[in-house]
């Protein structure tokens, strides 16, 4: 019998021509306990199902929707799912989380994961109804935004289905296209392009099963307690202002990436600040399913309508592109949602192009920092893969820089091909390490080392041994939260996280586990991601930052400068390898491979 909270099987769906067939893949207790679910289990599935060196956009490349033991329980913030695949942007493993009812219904199809392979003959939707799968042609959905596609399939197939869909950019293979559900996005790494590569516009799931938990009363009591704690000070920021609260604070501490990382403060920040917008234009606050925090803050748009705004989309489409008019940023954010593209990669790639244009490296004289109209025009060109600039930028900043040459790779804001989030590495040097070594590429959700930088506990301007420890620890915590799965906005309510998480997981699964076992699982998951990347050709040379970050110091308001040299970063990376038990080239010790349970 499967442990509580699990079904003990994945559904592997093979799409070919006009048909889809589903095959169960048994997931034994050892695999589930070793990888926990979510991102961890998805990583294991990629090892098992992705052919080595497969083209991420090829039919053979698998895409996994992965659930977890906690999904469907009353534990707050647990209605989340992971989407895992080989990224068309990085060529390495990518995983993204999204929230809401798709997670619950997807799991209650009776599977801990749904893996999709193959390619449909024409644009189609894939329906998973319990153990039954079928493919339905849907050419009428071509070109629709994901939200409109969701509405259309609801009308066509009736109620009871939950839908994850892609926008037009995913259909066209934009390498940073997203998969969306209910206004939430599995955003990073181009998962929408992977689904688009299968000619699948949407995946629909319908619940058909129930799942048992080991200790129903215990889970209910824990859920009540966690819900109560979720109303406390540790989540106040998310409730009161949302993640956009970061913007003005980051500006004040010189870590708001501006104009393609040429500065860390932005004179236009106050106009984009949550503190201002909340007073002037805040209209609503929403929650994901099964969430008691309610972090989504909705703002009114000039001319009507509203838009959900988060720090990352405002940073990327605002300061990073030098744009300070909130209506331009709102419009750009809405355009990204309509096209179905990752706002961070979109903003980063356009910001790089703006700098190229200003330096005369590309012949697009209209593309200038600070021009909101130019930003929108560039986004449209990307979404349509218009010949010229659109086609160039649709591949992300790394590939675009490789095409443009002329030294532009030095300021392409990416690691491993994934564009940097809104955390300036030179003024957050624990985070700099986290960004450099993370398997997904430059990422703030799989490595939260900025917490240490902003805690006041270490010197954020001079990375060293303490920063390595912080990067490892936050990466471990992220690995567990993303696998079991709980929203990271809840992280502050756990005083002693690993033992507390172990208790929650034990109540659901029936496993007798402790915090130590979860720490081991975290390290295993991180190692398994790295092992996958190594298999796909990654090397230690990928664990770095753009040359700009390592060669150009930033001037601070204090008169001091923030410098992160290549030597310092290399030293921290070396320390990270030691802490992770890797060899000096960042490779997994062969003795550890058996622990990863990768043998078929």
Residues making contact with other proteins (CB under 8 A): 233-234, 236-237, 240-241, 243, 245-246, 248-250, 252-254, 264-265, 273-276, 279, 423, 444, 448, 450-451, 453-457, 459-461, 488-489, 491-492, 556-561, 563
Closest separation in Å from C-beta 272 to other proteins: 13
Distance CA 111, CA 105 (A): 10
Tokens of 19: 């048909």
Residues 6+ apart with CB under 8 A from 210: 108
Judged by beta carbon, residue 144 or residue 458, the one nearer other proteins is 458
Count of residues for the chain? 600
Residues 427-446: b if buried by 16+ CB within 10 A, e if exposed: bbbbbbbbbbbbbbbbbbbb
Closest separation in Å from C-beta 481 to other proteins: 11
Q: CB–CB of 112/10 below 8 Å?
A: yes
Closest separation in Å from C-beta 266 to other proteins: 12
Q: Please, is 517 exposed, middle or buried when counting C-beta atoms within 10 Å of its C-beta (0-12, 13-18, 19+)?
A: middle
Which residue is listed with tokens 């493919």? 135
Closest separation in Å from C-beta 178 to other proteins: 20
Other C-beta atoms within 10 Å of 84: how many? 34
Judged by beta carbon, residue 399 or residue 460, the one nearer other proteins is 460
Closest separation in Å from C-beta 488 to other proteins: 6
Judged by beta carbon, residue 19 or residue 560, the one nearer other proteins is 560
* Exposure on the CB side of residue 71, measured as CA atoms within 13 A: 36
Judged by beta carbon, residue 403 or residue 457, the one nearer other proteins is 457
Closest separation in Å from C-beta 559 to other proteins: 5
Judged by beta carbon, residue 275 or residue 371, the one nearer other proteins is 275
Closest separation in Å from C-beta 492 to other proteins: 5
Judged by beta carbon, residue 274 or residue 588, the one nearer other proteins is 274
Q: Choose among 276, 233, 226, 281: nearest CA to 251.
A: 276
Q: Please, is 156 exposed, middle or buried when counting C-beta atoms within 10 Å of its C-beta (0-12, 13-18, 19+)?
A: middle
Tokens of 574: 């070396």
Q: CB–CB of 184/340 below 8 Å?
A: no
Stated as kind and residue range, the H or E segment containing 226 is: helix 216-229
Closest separation in Å from C-beta 243 to other proteins: 7
Distance CA 211, CA 519 (A): 26
3-state helix, strand, coil in the chain (%, to 5): 45, 15, 40
Distance CA 289, CA 293 (A): 10
Q: CB–CB of 167/141 below 8 Å?
A: no
Tokens of 184: 């939430």
Judged by beta carbon, residue 209 or residue 566, the one nearer other proteins is 566
Judged by beta carbon, residue 98 or residue 149, the one nearer other proteins is 98
Closest separation in Å from C-beta 278 to other proteins: 9
Judged by beta carbon, residue 163 or residue 265, the one nearer other proteins is 265
């Amino acid at each position: 019998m499967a442990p509580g909270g699990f079904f003990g099987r994945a559904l592997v769906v093979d799409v070919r021509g006009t048909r889809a067939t589903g095959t169960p893949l048994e997931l034994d207790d050892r695999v589930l306990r070793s990888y926990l679910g979510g991102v961890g289990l998805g990583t294991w599935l990629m090892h098992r199902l992705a052919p080595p060196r497969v083209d991420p956009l090829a039919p053979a490349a698998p895409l996994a929707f992965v659930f977890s033991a906690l999904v469907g329980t009353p534990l707050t913030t647990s209605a989340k799912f992971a989407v895992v695949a080989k990224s068309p942007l990085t060529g390495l493993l990518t995983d993204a989380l999204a929230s809401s009812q798709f997670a619950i219904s997807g799991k209650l199809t009776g599977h801990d994961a749904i893996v999709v392979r193959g390619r449909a003959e024409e644009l189609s939707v894939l329906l998973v109804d319990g153990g039954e799968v079928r493919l339905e042609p849907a050419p009428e959905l071509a070109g629709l935004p994901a939200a409109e596609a969701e509405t259309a399939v609801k009308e066509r197939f009736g109620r009871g289905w939950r839908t994850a869909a892609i926008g037009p950019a995913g259909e066209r293979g934009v390498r940073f296209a997203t998969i969306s559900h209910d206004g939430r996005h599995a955003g990073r790494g181009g998962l929408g392009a992977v689904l688009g590569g299968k000619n699948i516009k949407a995946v629909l799931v319908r619940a058909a099963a129930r799942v048992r938990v080991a200790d129903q009363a215990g889970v209910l009591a824990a859920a009540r307690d966690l819900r109560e704690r979720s109303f406390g000070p540790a989540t106040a920021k998310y409730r009161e202002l949302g993640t956009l609260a970061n913007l003005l604070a980051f500006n004040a501490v010189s870590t708001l990436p501006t104009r393609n990382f040429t500065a860390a403060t932005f004179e236009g920040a106050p106009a984009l600040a949550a503190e201002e917008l909340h007073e002037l234009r805040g209209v609503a606050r929403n929650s994901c399913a099964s969430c008691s925090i309610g972090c989504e803050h909705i703002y009114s748009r000039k001319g009507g309508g509203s838009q959900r705004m988060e720090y990352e989309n405002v940073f990327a489409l605002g300061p990073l592109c030098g744009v300070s008019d909130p209506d331009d940023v709102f419009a750009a954010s809405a355009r990204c949602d309509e096209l179905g593209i990752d706002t961070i990669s979109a903003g980063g790639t356009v910001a790089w192009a703006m700098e190229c244009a200003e330096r005369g490296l590309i012949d697009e004289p209209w593309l200038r920092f600070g021009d909101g109209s130019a930003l929108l025009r560039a986004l449209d060109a990307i979404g349509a893969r218009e010949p010229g600039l659109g086609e160039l930028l649709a591949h992300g900043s790394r590939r675009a820089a490789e095409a443009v040459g002329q030294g532009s790779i030095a300021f392409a804001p990416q690691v491993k091909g994934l564009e940097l989030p809104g955390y300036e590495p030179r003024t957050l040097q624990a985070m700099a390490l986290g960004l450099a070594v993370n398997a997904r590429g430059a990422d703030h959700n799989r490595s939260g080392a900025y917490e240490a930088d902003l805690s006041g506990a270490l010197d954020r301007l001079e990375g060293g041994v303490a920063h390595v420890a912080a990067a490892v620890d936050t990466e471990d915590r992220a690995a567990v939260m993303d696998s079991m799965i709980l929203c990271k906005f809840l992280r502050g309510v756990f005083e002693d996280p690993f033992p507390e998480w172990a208790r929650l997981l034990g109540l659901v699964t029936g496993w007798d586990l402790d915090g130590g076992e979860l720490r081991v699982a975290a390290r295993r998951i991180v190692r398994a991601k790295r092992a996958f990347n190594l298999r796909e050709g990654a090397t230690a040379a990928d664990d770095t930052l753009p040359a700009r970050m390592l060669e150009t110091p930033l001037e601070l308001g204090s008169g001091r400068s923030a410098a992160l040299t290549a030597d310092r970063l290399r030293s921290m990376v070396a320390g990270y390898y030691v802490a992770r038990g890797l060899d000096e080239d960042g490779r997994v010790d062969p003795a550890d491979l058996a622990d990863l349970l990768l043998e078929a």
